[in-house]
Amino acid sequence: MAPLRRPVLAANWKMNLGPTAASAFLESYLSHYAARDDRTVILFPSAIAFSSARHAAEARPDIQFGVQNVHSAEKGAFTGETSASMAQDAGARFVLIGHSERRHVFGETDALTAEKMSRVASQGLAPVLCVGEKFEERENGETNEVIVRQLRAAFEGLLENDASVLGTVVIAYEPVWAIGTGRTAHPEDASAAHAAIRAELSASAGSIGDSIPILYGGSVTALNASTLLAAPGVDGLLVGGASLDPESWAAICNA
C-alpha cells in the first residue's frame, strides 16, 4: 500500500504583504481556519514580514513558517541576503529552493540550487524544492527529462552532505507555464508529472523517497483546490496569488 502522506498546504506570498498587511492577514485568516490535525499549513512570508506574521500566529502552533529564499553561504558580505541560520533563528522550519522565479527571473542554476539544498539541510531546516518545466519544454515532450534533471542536481547536493535529512524534504511540482497565469495544469497532467517525480525519488532514496510529499503549484484557487488535491499522487498545494486573500486561503486550507 502506498504510504499515507498528510496533505501540505503552503502559501508563497512572494513580494507581497509587508509587516502590517501580514499581521492583518493572519488575524482574518485564523478566524476562518480552525486548527486541523489532518493537514499541515505552511506560510512563506517575505523576509521583512516574517517576524510580524509569526508573531500574529503565536497562539496557533499548528501554523508553520518558512522563508522564500536563503543564500548558499553560511554568512558573510552578501548585502541584502538572508542566511539559513538567520532564518532558523527567526523561527523558520522550511525554505523554498529552486522556485521558478529564482531559476528563471534571477538566473539560479541547478548547481546553485544544489548548494542551497545542502546549506539548508545542514542547518536543520526542511527544503521545499520546486521543480517544473517551461512551456516550450512541455511542447517538446521534455517535461519528465527536465524535472528529473532538476531533482538529481538538487539531491546530489543533499546526499553528499547528509542523507538523513532526506526525510525532511518536500517537493513542489510547479510547471512554469502555470505559475501566475491562470492556466492550471489538468489534474491528469499533474498526476503524470507527480508519478515521474515519485519514481525518481523512490529510485534515488528508496523508502524515504516514498514518504516525501509532492505538492502541486501553479494557479491554484479556492475553486480548483479540491480537484487538484484529489488527483492521484498530489500530496498538497503550493499557492501564490490565491494565498494573498485570507478567506480564499482559508477555503484552500479547508479543501
Q: Is 180 in the site for ligand PGA (CB under 6 A)?
A: yes
The correct pick among 154, 170, 179, 196 for binding ligand PGA (CB under 6 A) is: 179
Considering the complex, what minimum distance in angstroms separates the CB of residue 206 from ligand PGA? 28
Q: Is 69 in the site for ligand PGA (CB under 6 A)?
A: no
Considering the complex, what minimum distance in angstroms separates the CB of residue 139 from ligand PGA? 19
Considering the complex, what minimum distance in angstroms separates the CB of residue 28 from ligand PGA? 19
Site for ligand PGA in 12-31 (CB under 6 A): 12
Choose between 143 and 248: whose C-beta lies nearer to ligand PGA.
Answer: 248
Choose between 187 and 240: whose C-beta lies nearer to ligand PGA.
Answer: 240
Contact 79, 99 (CB under 8 A): no
Considering the complex, what minimum distance in angstroms separates the CB of residue 78 from ligand PGA? 24
> DSSP characters for 101-152?
HHHHTS---HHHHHHHHHHHHHTTPEEEEEE---HHHHHTT-HHHHHHHHHH
Catalytic residue among 101, 108, 137, 174: 174
> DSSP characters for 192-210?
HHHHHHHHHHHHHHHHHHH
CA atoms of 67 and 82, how far apart (whole Å): 9
Question: Among 233, 231, 230, 229, which Cα is nearest to 10's?
Answer: 229
Q: Identify the residue whose cell numbers are 554568512.
A: 75
Strands (E), 105-186: 126-131, 170-173
Q: Is 220 in the site for ligand PGA (CB under 6 A)?
A: yes
| Burial class for 37, CB neighbours closer than 10 Å (0-12, 13-18, 19+) | exposed
Q: Identify the residue whose cell numbers are 490535525.
A: 37
Choose between 55 and 183: whose C-beta lies nearer to ligand PGA.
Answer: 183
Q: Is 45 in the site for ligand PGA (CB under 6 A)?
A: no
Name the one range near ligand PGA by CB under 6 A: 27-35, 51-59, 105-113, 240-248. 240-248
The correct pick among 127, 187, 217, 246 for binding ligand PGA (CB under 6 A) is: 217
CA atoms of 247 and 240, how far apart (whole Å): 14
Angle CA 71–132–236, to nearest 5: 90
CA atoms of 248 and 250, how far apart (whole Å): 5
Q: Is 239 in the site for ligand PGA (CB under 6 A)?
A: yes
Q: Catalytic site residue 99?
A: yes
Name the one range near ligand PGA by CB under 6 A: 23-31, 112-120, 196-204, 234-242. 234-242
Q: Catalytic site residue 174?
A: yes
In the three-class reduction of DSSP (H, G, I as helix; E, B as strand; rest coil), residue 216 is classed as strand
Residues that bind ligand PGA (CB under 6 A): 12, 174, 179-180, 217-220, 238-242
Residues annotated as catalytic are 99, 174
